[in-house]
Amino acid sequence: MGTTLEELTIKHAAQLAEIQEQIGYAFRDRQLLQLALVHSSFAFERLDCGRHNETLEFLGDAVLDMAVGHLLFTRFPTMREGKLTRIRAALVNETSLAEIARSLALGKHLLLGKGEDSSNGREKASILSCAYEAMIGAMFLDGGYSAVHSSVQQTFDPLIDQQGEQLISADAKSKLQEVLQEQHNEGPQYILEAEEGPAHARMFTVSVQFHSQLLGSGRATSKKEAEQIAAKAALEVLRENKGLVG
Q: Any alpha helices (H) in the chain, and if so which ranges?
A: 5-11, 13-23, 30-36, 40-46, 54-75, 81-91, 94-103, 114-118, 125-163, 166-170, 172-184, 223-240
Which among 61, 94, 225, 227 is annotated as catalytic? 61
Name the residue with higher pLDDT: 155 or 184: 155
pTM of the model: 0.71
Phi, psi for residue 43 in degrees, rounded to 5 = -60, -45
In this prediction, residue 80 carries a pLDDT of 84
**CA-to-CA distance for 239 and 172, rounded, in angstroms?**
13
Instruction: Write phi, then psi, for 171 (nearest 5 degrees).
Output: -90, 95
* Candidates 94, 116, 133, 225; catalytic one: 133
Q: Is 196 annotated as a binding residue?
A: no
Burial of 45 (0-12, 13-18, 19+ CB in 10 A): middle
Partners of residue 111 on adjacent β-strands? 38
pLDDT band, residue 1 (cuts 50/70/90): low
- Report which of residues 220 and 165 the model is more confident about: 220
**Looking at per-residue confidence, does 79 or 97 come out higher?**
97
**Is the model's pLDDT at 54 over the cut of 60?**
yes
The whole-angstrom distance between residue 237's C-alpha and the CA centroid of its chain comes to 26
In the chain, the domains with their CATH numbers are 5-169 (1.10.1520.10), 172-240 (3.30.160.20)
Mean pLDDT of the chain: 89
Residue 183 above 90 pLDDT? no
Whether residue 133 is annotated as binding a ligand: the answer is: yes
**pLDDT band for position 49 (50/70/90)?**
confident
Residue-wise pLDDT tens digits, 197-233: 887 778 999 999 999 899 999 998 888 889 989 998 9
* 5-18 pLDDT per residue, tens: 899 999 999 999 99
pLDDT computed for residue 147 by the predictor: 96
Known active-site residue 61: yes
Report the pLDDT averaged over residues 76-98: 87
Task: Give the integer Cα–Cα distance in Å for 5 and 227.
Answer: 35
